[in-house]
């Protein structure tokens, strides 16, 4: 469990700099340059990610059950994760209605993904992992919306074709992950 917690602290800590110390981040980028900053950010993020994956894998070997979710929560989680994939796709497809409405669909997608996994998984390692991502994404979304308000950011309205492309891309990525990649990467098939 130690590696999981250390990995989360490092990975989410690096990703929280803009949430808790945006002006310091700006000064550091000005001092070091954008590419060295991104290089350090990437190395620390990867180290944190490796630690949290390793720690989560170890914690799953000796599960501590906190609650036993009802079977229907797996189906609900699958639906919520589908919506999460569409939200994450909206962060990358320019000019879609979802980004125009939400502003920060990546944070919203991660919130939904983490919440869905908390609904359907009741082990201690799951609660730590997905609870940390849920708390981080809520804080990040709030901080990003505050920055938008201060800067007067207005997202351009979406185009129907790009919004449809966003939904299709999110659905296809979800299907690939749900029916193949989740079992291959995580060792668990969401649909049995």
* pLDDT (tens digit per residue) in 83-119: 999 999 999 999 999 999 999 999 999 999 999 999 9
What is the pLDDT, as a whole number, of residue 68? 94
What is the pLDDT, as a whole number, of residue 185? 85
Length of the chain as a residue count = 192
Structure tokens at 109: 């997608």
Average pLDDT along the chain? 95
- Each domain of the chain, given as residue ranges in start order, spans 1-62, 65-192
Say whether pLDDT at 28 is over 90. yes
**Global pTM value:** 0.92
Give the three-state DSSP class for 65: strand
Under the banding of pLDDT at 50, 70 and 90, the label for residue 186 is: confident
DSSP string, 19-62: HH-HHHHHHHHHHH-HHHHHHHHHHHHHHHHHHHHHHHHHHHHS
What is the pLDDT, as a whole number, of residue 188? 82
Q: How far apart are CA 188 and CA 176, in angstroms?
A: 14
Q: Which residue has the tokens 């469990």?
A: 1
The CA-based dihedral angle spanning residues 115, 120, 125, 127, taken in that order and rounded to the nearest 10 degrees: 40
Give the three-state DSSP class for 121: coil
What is the pLDDT, as a whole number, of residue 14? 96
What is the pLDDT, as a whole number, of residue 121? 95
Quick one: which of 108, 95, 84 has its CA closest to 156? 95
Say whether pLDDT at 192 is over 80. no
Radius of gyration, CA atoms only, the chain: 18
CA distances from residue 71 to 20, 107, 120, 132 in whole angstroms, order as listed = 38, 27, 8, 24
Under the banding of pLDDT at 50, 70 and 90, the label for residue 55 is: very high
* pLDDT (tens digit per residue) in 118-163: 999 999 999 999 999 999 999 999 999 999 999 998 898 999 999 9
Beta bridge partners of 123: 65
């Amino acid at each position: 469990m130690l590696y999981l917690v250390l990995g989360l602290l490092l990975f989410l800590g690096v990703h929280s700099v803009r949430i808790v110390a945006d002006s310091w981040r700006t000064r550091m980028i000005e001092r070091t340059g954008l590419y060295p900053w991104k290089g350090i950010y990437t190395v620390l993020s990867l180290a944190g990610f490796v630690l949290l994956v390793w720690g989560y894998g170890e914690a799953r070997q000796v599960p501590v059950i906190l609650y036993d979710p009802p079977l229907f929560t797996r189906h609900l989680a699958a639906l919520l994760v589908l919506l999460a994939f569409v939200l994450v796709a909206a962060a990358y497809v320019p000019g879609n209605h979802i980004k125009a409405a939400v502003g920060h669909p990546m944070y919203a997608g991660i919130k939904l993904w983490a919440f869905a996994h908390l609904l359907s998984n009741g082990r201690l390692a799951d609660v730590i992992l997905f609870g940390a991502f849920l708390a981080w994404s809520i804080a990040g979304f709030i901080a990003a919306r505050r920055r938008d308000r201060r800067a007067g950011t207005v997202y351009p309205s979406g185009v129907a074709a790009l919004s449809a492309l966003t939904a299709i891309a999110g659905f296809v990525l979800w299907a690939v992950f749900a029916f193949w990649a989740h079992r291959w990467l995580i060792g668990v098939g969401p649909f049995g």
